[in-house]
Amino acid sequence: MTESRDLLIEIGTEELPPKALRRLSDAFADSMMSGLESASLHPSGVLKYAAPRRLALLLSDVPVAQSDQETVRRGPALSAAFDDDGCPTQAAIGFAKSCGVEVEQLDQLETKDGSWLAFRSVRKGQDTAQVIPDLVRKSLAGLPIPKRMRWGDRDDEFVRPVHWVVLLFGNDVIDAEILGVKADRYTRGHRFHHPQPIYLGEPQAYLPILETEGQVLADYAARREAIRAQVLEQAKQLGGHALIEDDLLDEVTALVEWPVAIAGKFDIEFLQVPPEALISSMQDHQKYFPVTDDNGKLLPHFITIANLASKDPRQIRAGNERVIRPRLADAAFFWNQDRKQPLRQRASGLQNMVFQKKLGTLYDKQERVAGLAAEIAGAIGGDVAHAERAARLCKCDLLTSMVFEFPNLQGIMGRYYAQHDGEPADVANAIEEHYRPRFAGDALPLGATGQALAIADRLDSLVGIFAIGQAPTGDKDPFALRRAALGVIRICIEQQLDLDLLALLRKAASAFAPELKASSVTDAVFDYVMERLRGYYQEAGVEADLIDAVLATRPTRLLDIDKRIQACRAFRALPEASSLAAANKRIANILKKTDQAIPDNVDSARLEEDAEKQLAQQLAGLHEKVVPLMDAGDYTPALRELAGLRAAVDAFFDKVMVMVEDEALRANRLALLKNLGNLFLRVADLSRLQS
């Protein structure tokens, strides 16, 4: 059995960037595991540790040395290596010389392709202790660090200065220098609680001794959960509930090594300010966790995470309360000042804010969006006048002091200011809702005015950016058009809005200056949205061929596409589906190969075979039944009805020759197949379904 040991790697640094800590830790672990695997050193597992001043890995059961590896170098074929007298040819002699041996020392290699001369050698594996330092250096050099720094008078570069390195293999220190620091077995504890070196006898001692002696919770996940539990407990003691956003929890976890939750309070008068502004100030500026009551109403309390266990936590509490007051006072000042000028009076200021150099200002964009939003509102039963009004106000809060300080509050503050100005409720709500969905899985606009405005704003951006030749390419999407397209898709489908996307794109294009020739890109934008639609359905588990079958008929209403998708999924589950899909493939192939003019209608007088008469009769009866269903978008029952044609279709192809010599008879049978295929094509191109 191969001897193995545990391996501990720790890089001790100045405080690492909190928002990058998890990414650095994951990348370090992935790179080291990949390097060890490539070196034929296969650990049984890896544990990642990350704290503000350290990146560490504990790799289990790493072999103490690489296995010896036999290599076989193939030479000339035996038939070419020796002459008729059995003497080596120049080919054999030359091969042996290149291997540094005599011909007699070569072996034979038997393969399915014949017999060959071969040279076998064994490369002795290196000790793991010799391999590890270079793997660590390569892994650290490959970490995703946008900007590296130097320190002292050395050329070494890393994200932060390195102060200590631990390379402990079993009980032994690996002799190496990493980033200018000689490896040892001494780690460091908490900067204040235990700044002295801590001796490590073995890798497995790392985590427990850091916690008990060094007062450092090195395990990121454990530290994160400890913070969550402490925050929840503090909120409970305050009689409320903590608002814990994952991003903030991650950042705070990366800021502390020994977390201690401390609750504080602020003046109740600040609760007159919109809670979102207070929450943003607490979360973004101070990294505090806000507290709400059972109804979700903000309480005058916050919870902060200290990075040490203080002997006098009251001082920490008082210090944080002193810090938060001017922050909240700024928010209150912005709130009071911003309300002195109505939103509508700020609109002209948007003429000085460029949306895109070739597409004009935000004022120009609002004007374009207003007309499109009005049309959409009328189509979905909304208030046209309110949609126009909301469009002309929706970007005005960008000029307020509050949004300038807290950009994430755009739309939210617009709603508050519009309410203060006495705007209709759906207009105020639409100002906030038109930004939804902001990200994958985000809530959608609920009101018709908000829905119309959200769609109009996104379609204007899509058409405009395509028109100036800046459509997304590869990973570059500076105007977030992928998100815009997916937002339109989600709103139309999930909110059941029956809108013609292509018609709306053409309407959007008509609002741009003629020299942009925006109308020339509407088809390209439509295709771009359809590609995002494919991804939307594939994430939902819809098969690619089924999506292709529906989109091949190029429907232009997103809700209609969804109905077809769902109908085809139900159809595919029917026992008749496979046979009818195959029949549609056959029909498509037959019609594709013929250059004969095919009449639109079937001449019943020219039907000769019983099978074609039976199919024509059933098809005529079903046509009257299913076309109204399809016109109403009831595709599922329509396809279920068409599934009843299976027996007649199978009989037709078994007993009827389509491509007969008689041209009139052939044309009539082609017309029958064309009518059959066209009926299915009103839903999807079933010939594209895979069996």
Task: Say if CB 202 and CB 170 are below 8 A apart.
Answer: yes
pLDDT confidence bin for 514, thresholds 50/70/90:
very high
Domain boundaries, the chain: 4-66+127-212, 69-123, 221-338, 350-541, 575-688
Q: Which amino acid is at 541?
A: G
CATH 3.30.210.10 applies to domain 575-688: no
Q: How far, in Å, CA of 665 to CA of 602, rounded?
A: 10
Structure tokens at 592: 């594709």
pLDDT higher than threshold 60 for residue 1: no
- For residue 285, give Cα distances in angstroms to 194, 281, 294, 313, 333: 29, 5, 25, 21, 17
Question: Is residue 307 packed enough to be buried (19+ CB in 10 Å), middle (13-18) or exposed (0-12)?
Answer: middle
Q: How far, in Å, CA of 608 to CA of 476, rounded?
A: 62
Closest C-alpha to 338, from 395, 271, 420, 436:
420
Of residues 107 and 319, the one with the higher pLDDT is 319
Least confident among 33-37, 501-505, 608-612: 608-612
Closest C-alpha to 503, from 379, 389, 386:
379
Least confident among 145-154, 376-385, 480-489: 145-154
Task: Say if CB 179 and CB 140 are below 8 A apart.
Answer: yes
What's the average model confidence in pLDDT over 5-20? Answer: 96
Least confident among 70-74, 236-240, 273-277, 358-362: 70-74
Q: Is 390 helix (H, G, I), strand (E, B) or coil?
A: helix
Architecture of domain 350-541: Orthogonal Bundle (1.10)
Q: Which residues have CB under 8 Å from 572's CB, separation 6+?
A: 546, 689
What's the average model confidence in pLDDT over 440-469? Answer: 96
Q: CA angle, corner 557, sides to 551 and 563, nearest 5?
A: 70
pLDDT higher than threshold 90 for residue 558: yes
Least confident among 260-274, 349-363, 470-484, 583-597: 583-597
Share of residues in the chain with pLDDT > 70 (%): 100
Sign of CA dihedral 62, 63, 65, 67: negative
Predicted local distance difference test score (pLDDT) of residue 653: 84
* Distance, C-alpha 348 to centroid of its chain: 37
Q: Give phi and psi for 472, each to the nearest 5.
A: -55, 140
H or E element that contains 579 = helix 577-593
Predicted local distance difference test score (pLDDT) of residue 678: 87
Mean pLDDT score of the chain:
93
Q: Is 114 helix (H, G, I), strand (E, B) or coil?
A: strand
DSSP symbol at 382: -
pLDDT higher than threshold 70 for residue 527: yes
Per residue in 278-289, pLDDT (tens digit) is 999 999 999 999
Q: Which residues have CB under 8 Å from 527's CB, separation 6+?
A: none
Per residue in 376-421, pLDDT (tens digit) is 999 999 999 999 999 999 999 999 999 999 999 999 999 999 999 9
pLDDT confidence bin for 691, thresholds 50/70/90:
low
What's the average model confidence in pLDDT over 631-638? Answer: 92
Which of 243-251's residues contact partners 24+ apart within 8 Å by CB, and which partners? 243/279, 243/283, 243/289, 243/290, 243/291, 243/292, 244/289, 245/283, 248/283, 248/287, 248/289, 249/224, 250/19, 250/22, 250/224, 251/18, 251/19, 251/287
pTM for the model stands at 0.81
DSSP symbol at 346: G
Per residue in 108-136, pLDDT (tens digit) is 888 888 888 888 887 777 889 999 999 99
What's the average model confidence in pLDDT over 522-535? Answer: 96
